[in-house]
Chain A
């Protein structure tokens, strides 16, 4: 079955006809040529496909494209402000928060979404007092970033990069 949808991808309106079985990730990568989000597991277990979907971090491999007609999607490629990298992107370079780079766009989108969640007062599993004032310490960053796997083992540098940018 086919369906017509329109997506806003990194600020650009893109219309396409898709097989209704198509995931948002495959729609982006295989149909629109937007390959910043990566496919690492296709099962929502690794986070490499993370984008900001209507402002929130989401695994695009777990989303069917047809269910997101009209959605606003920001990938890591769309985080740049003109020629200027997003501060988190620059921090990932400065702190060497990656090696092979395959999980990196997902890590960075996830970090952007995570910082917004923290700002909005969302607690995490390690938050001691969910009702009190929160501190984004290393344990909080580690916990909140644990949906994004990195086989190169750059976690310590990812935490350092996020810490450098976090409020």
Chain B
């Protein structure tokens, strides 16, 4: 048990400390740094899916007034390391996917850069390519581990025998679409290369992660790379690690004699270059007795990676811990394709991986004639089925029960296609939600006392919209036992002490634990009345409890769906999420995180589908006109609440991460509600109108 922090500022709905800057638009994002003599970089992308660049005609572009330099694989500066193939930009003539960088123009203005890039004539030797994911491919392979380091396969008990003898079985295949993160702020890097080294104003979820990754690529000592990101316009995973554009900007900055190079990917370019969620094909088999007690769960996943760099989404991992079943099997198989590198997108693993099983549970509930909430309650494990460890806290049942009460579940008639309101068929659905409570080592915080009882708290953390500026200030205030007004927080700069990336819903747990540990050391050393300039620095304390407990957040998602009987139009007038996530640091920003995740889950359920064209190797709907994300008019009455959960084993704040759990299960709840409304079971996302037409 970690010594808990006494909450005073924690738990209050402090308004965002960066609120004024954001509502006036004066918060400075990466591209907006005021810099003298800046140049603009516009990339040139491959128009083939695989092959070699045989020639690049740069003469017309170079002759244009205002062009500073043109880069191709022939003349680009050499990188010190090309170990990471995604980051080996312009180092060879090989094209590994459509949209890969094959050149770039640096110019005095964005208009000239863009025009010149359009004048670059690239010739190719095009080779056969393969971009189609199918479950029946004969070249699927098992990766060594799945993201980040989970076993690829698990097999406990005898699943086949249990399925054979089960009174009831579900055996269905589900699929989720390829999706792109699409933060509103494009991926942006402003690079300056001079005698001091490399400075990057970058739109990133982790300034230190960028520094650590790109320094060896450029052959620089990490101390000579500085990364600055005070405000970041969303990321959802795609800004969790540097992608190729950061390297391209760094290459360009080497040929501009110290002039800054500004690169913002266009929205279209973001569909090729900054990661995406792999499509998944999930076969789920459930075996149960006639009362719905699970005897077997099998979850076999097929998904894709790129040929140049492996990313193996951990889609079936949540199945290992979700429900009690003596016989459990999970597997992941990958197709390596000539496609861009997949990567993290909000709740990688859990988000797609809770779609198939949570719809399958709904199908089992129908098969058993048991209420879907009751079915889940009956399969609640006493300990983590995977590790055998007790849960530090697990309140899934509480979430389901509280959600049922708030949503009016007791009035639900389970009969499908039995409710009509005018031309609309109406139904409700439920699904479980979960996300691991991660805590990583390796962050460092520095606390220094100033005059007038003020404290400067320094840590290279990130605020990607999650509220870090506000919530870390609240934690620091309680840790130092001072009002929030006495804390000056500094984040978003690699010149500050090392911090982990804002990912895996672990930021506040990592950074907050570190700040609390350092604050305690500071008070132990300097007491309640420290002299001006007193200073303590320290690392994230260990948490021995993480060896003794399984630590996860849980939730329950509810949705009401209306499907038009004639057109198949689908609407979601109501969504409710109930979560058990330890102590809430700030109810105002927490609710935003939850409903934001649920809104993205609605978007996943109904809209998002990156369409990979097999005849070009290209995502053809690569803008917001054709890759639909939820708009204001798509969202109805949406709310999120939480249980008063106390978990002494997590961290001194008693908090679990909340950035990702809101999306997990949301699409399954909507799919289950759509079945209840119509009697049509949709097992493939997104759920579109044509599925409901006769």
Please tell me which stretch of B281-289, B534-542, B552-560, B585-593 contacts chain A, meaning at least 4 of its Cβ atoms lie within 8 angstroms of it: B585-593
Q: CB within 8 Å of B: which of A91-126?
A: 92-94, 96, 98-105, 108, 126
- Pair A19/B20 contact, Cβ less than 8 Å: no
- Counting residue pairs across A and B whose Cβ atoms lie within 8 Å, the total is 183
- Pair A36/B26 contact, Cβ less than 8 Å: yes
B631 an interface residue at 8 Å Cβ cutoff?
yes
With a cutoff of 8 Å between Cβ atoms, the chain A residues found around residue B28 in the complex are 35
- Pair A101/B18 contact, Cβ less than 8 Å: yes
- Pair A94/B15 contact, Cβ less than 8 Å: yes
B186 an interface residue at 8 Å Cβ cutoff?
yes
Please tell me which stretch of A52-60, A77-85, A129-137 contacts chain B, meaning at least 4 of its Cβ atoms lie within 8 angstroms of it: A77-85
Q: In the complex, what distance in Å separates the CA atom of A143 from the CA atom of B600? A: 18
Q: How far is the CB of B409 from chain A (nearest CB, A)?
A: 22
Q: In the complex, what distance in Å separates the CA atom of A102 from the CA atom of B32? A: 12
- Pair B632/A148 contact, Cβ less than 8 Å: yes
Q: In the complex, what distance in Å separates the CA atom of A151 from the CA atom of B624? A: 11
Q: A41 is contacted by which of B27, B233, B624, B639 (Cβ under 8 Å)?
A: B624
B414 an interface residue at 8 Å Cβ cutoff?
no
Q: A153 is contacted by which of B233, B466, B596 (Cβ under 8 Å)?
A: B596
B4 an interface residue at 8 Å Cβ cutoff?
no
With a cutoff of 8 Å between Cβ atoms, the chain A residues found around residue B592 in the complex are 96, 99, 152, 154, 157
- Pair B185/A96 contact, Cβ less than 8 Å: no
- Pair B25/A38 contact, Cβ less than 8 Å: yes
- Pair B24/A77 contact, Cβ less than 8 Å: yes
- Pair B233/A102 contact, Cβ less than 8 Å: yes
B657 an interface residue at 8 Å Cβ cutoff?
no
- Pair B591/A105 contact, Cβ less than 8 Å: no
Known contacts: A33-B34, A101-B18, A156-B638. The answer to whether A40 contacts B184 by CB under 8 A is yes
Q: CB within 8 Å of A: which of B578-618?
A: 588-589, 591-593, 595-600, 603
Known contacts: A33-B34, A93-B15, A157-B592. The answer to whether A43 contacts B623 by CB under 8 A is yes
In the complex, what residue of chain A is closest to B114 when comparing beta carbons? A21
With a cutoff of 8 Å between Cβ atoms, the chain A residues found around residue B19 in the complex are 92-93
Q: B633 is contacted by which of A41, A92, A143, A150 (Cβ under 8 Å)?
A: A143
- Pair A104/B22 contact, Cβ less than 8 Å: yes
Q: CB within 8 Å of A: which of B21-57?
A: 21-29, 31-32, 34
Q: Mark A144-162, 1 if CB is under 8 A from B, else 0.
A: 0110111111111111000
Subset of 14 A-B contacts with CB under 8 Å: A22-B111, A35-B25, A39-B186, A45-B625, A96-B588, A98-B22, A99-B465, A100-B231, A102-B465, A105-B23, A142-B635, A151-B629, A153-B600, A156-B635
Q: A104-B22, A146-B631 are in contact. List 9 more A-B contacts (CB 8 A).
A: A22-B109, A30-B110, A38-B29, A42-B267, A46-B267, A100-B234, A146-B632, A149-B629, A155-B599
- Interface residue ranges, A against B (CB under 8 Å): 19, 21-22, 26, 29-30, 33, 35-43, 45-46, 48, 75-77, 79-80, 85, 89-90, 92-94, 96, 98-105, 108, 126, 139, 141-143, 145-146, 148-159
